[in-house]
Amino acid sequence: MQVANANPEIKVTGRHVAVTDAIVDYARKKVESLHLDYPRIIDAQVILDVEKYRHIAEVVLHCSNHITIDASAETSDLYASIDEAVGKIAQQMRKHKTKIMRQYRPRRGQVRLIEEQVLPDDVAEEENGAEPLVVRTEGYPVKPMFVDEAVLQLQMNTSQQFVVFLNAKSEKINVLYRRKQGNFGVIEPAFP
């Protein structure tokens, strides 16, 4: 088991802007000021971008239990953008820590198991009339975790619509997705 550093590694990078030592120090101090103990921050990345009068700061935190938290802010001042993005991150961390610290309650009705069926090739081709065209292939890191950890990961990252993970209990690849009603569904492979 790896133990996270007390002082996480903080990378500050710039797009279309020269990152000065003052900006790097300011961004590092702001990220280090996040004194919440959960989730424990392993490393952080601050990405700064300037497009004419738009100053954009994006903060990405990689935390323990495979949790990734990100936030971005856009203002007319780079320092204000950093402040706003770190503020959003702190708000997300407080919100989810509060959820975890509440009295444990079963997740009745929040996670739904759906069996996936694969159609034979001849049936799929007959329905579509032709073979589908693969437009883009993308690699996705698959990490071992429990379903409740995957739910937490999806709750903490509002930009993600799904999480692919190796279920630590069943040792099968699962997909957890966000449903329109606000709850979550799990796709678990079932072989006949």
| Model confidence at 121: pLDDT above 50 | yes
Q: Does domain 9-101 have CATH number 3.20.20.70?
A: no
Other C-beta atoms lying within 10 Å of the C-beta of residue 4: 14
pLDDT band (50, 70, 90) for residue 192: low
Phi, psi of 176 (to 5 degrees): -105, 130
Q: Does domain 111-188 have CATH number 3.90.1150.10?
A: no
Residues, the chain, total? 192
pLDDT band (50, 70, 90) for residue 79: very high
Three-state DSSP at 142 gives: coil
- Going from N- to C-terminal start, the domains of the chain cover 9-101, 111-188
Top pLDDT among 176 and 113 is at: 176
pLDDT in tens, 126-182: 555 566 677 677 777 788 888 888 888 888 777 778 888 888 888 888 999 988 887
Poorest-confidence range of 51-55, 78-82, 126-130? 126-130
- What pLDDT, on the 0 to 100 scale, is given for residue 13? 92
Question: What average pLDDT is seen over the chain?
Answer: 78
Q: What is the pTM of this model?
A: 0.55
